[in-house]
Amino acid sequence: MKTKPFIALDWGTTSFRAYQVNGTGEVTDQVSAAEGILAVNDGRFEETLESHIGSWDKALPLIASGMITSRQGWVECAYAECPAGVADLAQAITAKTTASGRAVHFITGLHFNSQSIVHDVLRGEETQVFGSMSTGAEHFITPGTHSKWISIAHDGITGFSTYMTGESFSLFRNHSILGRLMQDGSQDEKAFAEGVERAFAAPADLLHLLFSVRSLGLFNAIGPEKLASYLSGLLIGSEVASASMGHDHGAKYMVLGTPALAANYLNALKLAGLKAVAGDPLCAIKGQQMIAHEAGII
Amino acid sequence: MKTKPFIALDWGTTSFRAYQVNGTGEVTDQVSAAEGILAVNDGRFEETLESHIGSWDKALPLIASGMITSRQGWVECAYAECPAGVADLAQAITAKTTASGRAVHFITGLHFNSQSIVHDVLRGEETQVFGSMSTGAEHFITPGTHSKWISIAHDGITGFSTYMTGESFSLFRNHSILGRLMQDGSQDEKAFAEGVERAFAAPADLLHLLFSVRSLGLFNAIGPEKLASYLSGLLIGSEVASASMGHDHGAKYMVLGTPALAANYLNALKLAGLKAVAGDPLCAIKGQQMIAHEAGII
């Protein structure tokens, strides 16, 4: 796709990423920092932005997506409703001109009237999925603190489910009795797979299975440096078992995430006998380009 | 049952409870404190004990059960194996004489070679269950940080499963994003029941359902002062759905716990259509009496 050049801003809860993008979608410069929206005090979003990209051309339109459009972000944008296509997101863009003269265009997130929990929400993942829609995948997984499983049909997002997998891992690892027996170690694929398989075998028993991180550690059935991998397998296995339930077994999955975490998900999906591939790490930029182009901004 | 008088000591992870018990099993004096084994430093168990019961007759035998027999406790006792009856526990008693001349008899805990997690363990709950065995109940639930579901047959404990329900509640309440929208409030039965029902409807979806504590809070579908009750319902509902699976639907359950927590479990069991009653809060004393009498100590 050919468009005008722009600045892509992917500003989430814990990280800031900005890219200069030329008219053919190539990244010509980029900056990233640990200054997610939770690290920005007193609403100083513009100052934070300029501290990172102050030298970049102020005439370039800036396209933003992610938690930056949430209540804790810069400009709160009302959720768009599922099903939603590129045109819906384009129409829902909120524009703002900064004191330094930059035009910032905010892409809002989605609300899904879910059967299971009534209200489900996301911000940022919709843009990643639109940027990945031409790949032939039918279901997208964005692993992380709160993983999302997003389904598409007819070039639109039809629904999604959130899983608190990453946050749960961090809680049990750092704040529970399970962490006490653990020693740091690199990812252990065998222990991870054992956790995944145990979760698949008893998908309704997570609160029970979690205790096995302690009991198998106590009896040294899993070594202290492997227990974190086993815990990760239990949680990711539980998520995969739940989220893939009811899907066509031949469905095509794509994982959109950082390489290490995506690899864990691809392993778990493989153990479930599902077809999955890794997506493009820069799909958010492509999604922003599509939506902003549809809106006539670039 | 008539026995010699004794001192019952129920010493767990977070609490210390001691009782003077006469020959007909009646409590004639008692003391309790927040000095669980984790609050005792440098192995000063005897000093802690005497600080609470120093004035009690040193000639009375002391019967102890709970986490006091664990690796972090006073005297580590090897687990007895399931199935286990009163005679097995009596035979496994470890005796110790304190510097002050008290004879302390430690009742060990149980190990269960579980199908689901290979190793499951408990300490203290076995004694509560033996003290409740004549009630006609077939399954016992001891709710708490780590809830146990214990099954009996032929006057013995045949197996059990641990659930990390209480610890999970505390983690999500105090350390996760779910706690941020919560305000303190008294237990809300409607929100609790909504959580239980949602867990029953989707027992394999816990990591997803947990996110609804946030999303239903964000959309004010559940008020901030009711969210903790809803979270509690999700977790206890998940536990009840998992633990009662495969049991005869007409089975008789008994809940052994503090009144407020036991009431939550009785509500959840009722919502599941199961028959459950509350047990005797002093069943641990009765269990100790049975085991120590069998051992010829009292």
Residue A194 lies in a domain: yes
Q: Give the pLDDT score at A246.
A: 82
Q: Let me know whether B180 and B115 are in one domain.
A: no
Which residue among B117, B238, B241 places its CB closest to the CB of A212? B117
Question: Minimal Cα–Cα distance from B17 to chain A, Å?
Answer: 23
Which of A124, A132, A120, A122 is closest to A107 using CA atoms? Answer: A124
Residue B144 lies in a domain: no
Domain that holds residue B201: 163-278
Residue B61 lies in a domain: yes
Question: Minimal Cα–Cα distance from A159 to chain B, Å?
Answer: 14
Q: Give the pLDDT score at B57.
A: 97
Amino acid residing at A32: S
Cβ(B205)–Cβ(B237) below 8 Å: no
Provide the CATH number for the domain around residue A177: 3.30.420.310
List of residues 6+ apart from A206 with CB closer than 8 A: A199, A234, A235, A238, B206, B207, B238, B242
Residue B204 lies in a domain: yes
Provide the CATH number for the domain around residue A65: 3.30.420.300
Q: Let me know whether B104 and B87 are in one domain.
A: yes
Q: Let me know whether B99 and B168 are in one domain.
A: no
Q: Lowest mean pLDDT: which of A183-187, B91-95, B244-248, B275-279?
A: B244-248
Final residue of a domain: which of A90, A109, A128? A109
Q: Let me know whether B170 and B264 are in one domain.
A: yes
Q: Let me know whether B125 and B169 are in one domain.
A: no
Residue B155 lies in a domain: no
Q: How far apart are CA B174 and CA B26, in angstroms?
A: 40
Q: Let me know whether B94 and B180 are in one domain.
A: no
* A67-113 per-position pLDDT tens digit: 999 989 999 999 999 999 999 999 999 999 999 999 999 999 999 99
Q: Give the pLDDT score at A81.
A: 98
Q: Let me know whether B183 and B261 are in one domain.
A: yes
Cβ-Cβ contacts under 8 Å, A219 against chain B: 118-119
Which residue among A165, A175, A208 places its CB closest to the CB of B163? A208
Final residue of a domain: which of A66, A89, A109? A109
- What's the predicted TM-score (pTM) here? 0.95
* B15-63 per-position pLDDT tens digit: 999 999 999 999 999 999 999 999 999 999 999 999 999 999 999 999 9
Q: Let me know whether B175 and B248 are in one domain.
A: yes
Residue B140 lies in a domain: no
Q: Let me know whether A102 and A177 are in one domain.
A: no
Residue A247 — very low, low, confident or very high, per pLDDT cuts 50/70/90?
confident
Residue A190 lies in a domain: yes
Q: Let me know whether B59 and B126 are in one domain.
A: yes
Residue B146 lies in a domain: no
Q: How far apart are CA B17 and CA B10, in angstroms?
A: 5
Final residue of a domain: which of A109, A129, A145? A109
- SS3 category, B158: strand
Q: Let me know whether B189 and B263 are in one domain.
A: yes
Nearest CA in chain A to B213: A117
Total domains, chain B: 2
Q: How far apart are CA A120 and CA A76, in angstroms?
A: 17
Give the B-side interface with A, CB within 8 Å: 116-121, 146, 161-165, 167-168, 171-172, 175-177, 198, 201-212, 215-216, 218-219, 221, 235, 238-239, 241-243, 245
Q: Let me know whether B88 and B202 are in one domain.
A: no
